[in-house]
Amino acid sequence: MGVIPIVIQKWSKSESMQITVVSIVVAVAGEFKINPFIGEVFRIGLGSSAFLFLLLLMSHLHYWRTGIATGAAVLLFRVSFDGAASAGTFYLLDSVKTHFSAMLYYIVFGAGMALIQRRLHQLNPLILGACVSLIDVVSNEAELLMRSVAFGLPHFQTNQWMLISVIAVVRSYFTTGIYSSIAVHQMRSVHAEQQKRIEQMINVGSGLYGEVFYLRKSMDVIEQITAKSHDLYGLLSKEGLNDYSRSVLEITQQIHEVKKDSQRILAGLMKLVDLESASEMTLAEIVELVVKSNGEYSRMLKKEVLIEKDVGIDYLTAHYIPLITVLNNLAANSVEAIERLGTIRIHVREREGETLFIVSDTGTGIDEQDKDMVFEPGFTTKFNQEGVAATGIGLSHVRDIVGSFTGRLLLIEPGRDTTFAAAFPTVKLKKGV
């Protein structure tokens, strides 16, 4: 029960500190001013623009309280300034009377902004500028009215009213324009960051999809081994070889435990991959993501690789994760096959009811004697400096992923320009078909 009051107290202290900072900044900015009416203390300064700008930036503040605090700070600052500037002839009441109307301006302005605070970020910039201009005019009129009452001056003067209105419109639209530019820039930055995170999540999902596919195959093998082991146990029991049969039964039970652990791991990975997700991507978006990802990969390897794309057919698909997994692996293989400089081309075509994803590169190529081995499990031509083979999912698993859609993975040209083509039935990929 005691946590909520503490949180509210901390938040309240933070808001009070922010209101204090706004008040001080506006009070200082108000000293940069001009006096549009000869013989009057009425001024037009940067304080009004600064106050509006800070209210727009800090829309979480309580505008009523901010207006009152700012007005009080402006009054105190100006009275103190008068006292410091003319200590011998300073009269406190006269100074307060002179600057009290300025305090009223900020109170009325804060109250006016409070009326539109909830819809502040929903208003069109032009409408927002018009609303702020009206609030500024009303606040200035309130200040002039208070000044005329305090000093017995005429209030309604057409030239003053017109000048105040024009200035209010100019500075309101100028300030809201700056604020809108900053807001747009922030929105673009947030969008770019969100897009980056989405791409990272998709790439992670793509990697997990490959591992899930790999694990599924391993579980099929485990299932077959478990069945054969159990059959062997039954055969040994019939032959009366009890010692051997018990050993085989223990092995069978251990394999079964491994299978259950693998099932739990697979279930967790499936939730992360979310293969049944309702989200979709176009083929062009998929290719763009692969190009961007492997461009970064090539720069990480300190290689100068030009990646060209040509998407001749485009449509929405819900199977973007397996497609990204396939294309990422083919493109990554191409990046690794290029020694320092080279080009990778990714083409998307539709032919005879199949969508073809063609990836070619100007890398070191595949030897003629190896072309029949490239799809064998464990085959690789890539080793690190210690002689350890690469640990990617391999072309055999890429072929199996394509095959899960009744598609084909082909090595078209094993020469200098290595070209792989992944052919998917369009009906399996295209949404709504």
Decide if 320 is inside a domain. yes
Residue 51: partners with Cβ closer than 8 Å, 6 or more residues away: 22, 26, 70, 106, 109
Residue 200's pLDDT is 72
Q: Provide long-range contacts, Cβ within 8 A and 24+ apart, for 349-356.
A: 349/312, 349/313, 350/312, 350/313, 350/426, 353/425, 353/426, 353/427, 354/407, 354/423, 354/424, 354/425, 354/426, 355/283, 355/313, 355/423, 355/424, 355/425, 355/426, 355/429, 355/430, 356/421, 356/422, 356/423
What is the CATH number for 394? 3.30.565.10
**Residue 227 identity (one-letter amino acid):** A
pLDDT < 70 stretches in the chain = 1-13, 33-44, 87-88, 90, 153-160, 205, 207-208, 210-211, 213-214, 216-217, 263, 266, 268-278, 369-370, 372, 376-393, 413-416, 432-433
In a domain, 207, yes or no: yes
User: By three-state DSSP, how is residue 18 classified?
Assistant: helix
Q: For residue 160, give the H/E element and its range.
A: helix 158-238
**302 with 413, same domain?**
yes
Residue 359 to residue 409: CA distance in whole angstroms: 11
Same domain for 41 and 117, yes or no, is: yes
Q: What is the Cα–Cα distance from 392 to 390, expressed in whole angstroms?
A: 6
What is the predicted pLDDT for the residue at 8? 41
Give domain status of residue 190, yes or no. Answer: no
The answer to whether residue 359 sits within a structural domain is yes
Q: Give a yes or no: residue 174 inside a domain.
A: no
Q: Please check whether residues 55 and 98 belong to one and the same domain.
A: yes
Which residues are CB-neighbours of 309 under 8 A, at least 6 positions away?
A: 287, 288, 291, 345, 346, 347
The domain boundary, picked from 156, 184, 212, lies at 156
What confidence score (pLDDT) does residue 109 get? 93
Measured distance CA(181)–CA(173) in Å, rounded: 12
pLDDT value of position 387 = 41
Which pTM value belongs to this model?
A: 0.56
Q: Are residues 357 and 228 in the same domain?
A: no
332 belongs to a structural domain: yes
Same domain, yes or no: 150 and 211: no
Query: What dihedral do alpha carbons 37, 42, 45, 49 form, nearest 10°?
Result: -110
The beta strand positions in 266-340, using DSSP E, are 281-282, 304-311, 316-317
Question: 248 lies in which domain range?
Answer: 199-273
For residue 117, the 8-state DSSP code is G
Number of domains in the chain: 3
- Whether 26 and 76 share a structural domain: yes
Residue 310's SS3 state is: strand
pLDDT of residue 66: 92
Q: Do 302 and 258 share a structural domain?
A: no
Of 99, 130, 156, which closes a domain? 156
Buried b (16+ CB within 10 A) or exposed e, 349-367: eeeeebbbbbbbbbbebbe
> 221 and 130: one domain?
no
Q: Are 427 and 433 in contact (CB under 8 A)?
A: yes
**End of a domain among 273, 308, 334?**
273
**Rounded CA gap, 424 and 404, in Å?**
10
169 within a domain of the structure (yes/no): no
- Determine, yes or no, domain membership for 175: no
- The conformational region for residue 153 under phi > 0 = left, psi -120 to 50 = alpha, else beta, is beta
pLDDT digits (tens, 9 = 90+) for 256-290: 777 777 767 767 666 666 544 547 889 999 999 89
How buried is residue 343: exposed, middle or buried, by Cβ count under 10 Å (0-12/13-18/19+)? middle
The answer on 32 and 150 residing in a single domain is: yes
Residues 300 and 221 in one domain: no
Do 265 and 285 reside in the same domain of the chain?
Answer: no
Distance CA 26, CA 47 (A): 5
Same domain, 364 and 406: yes
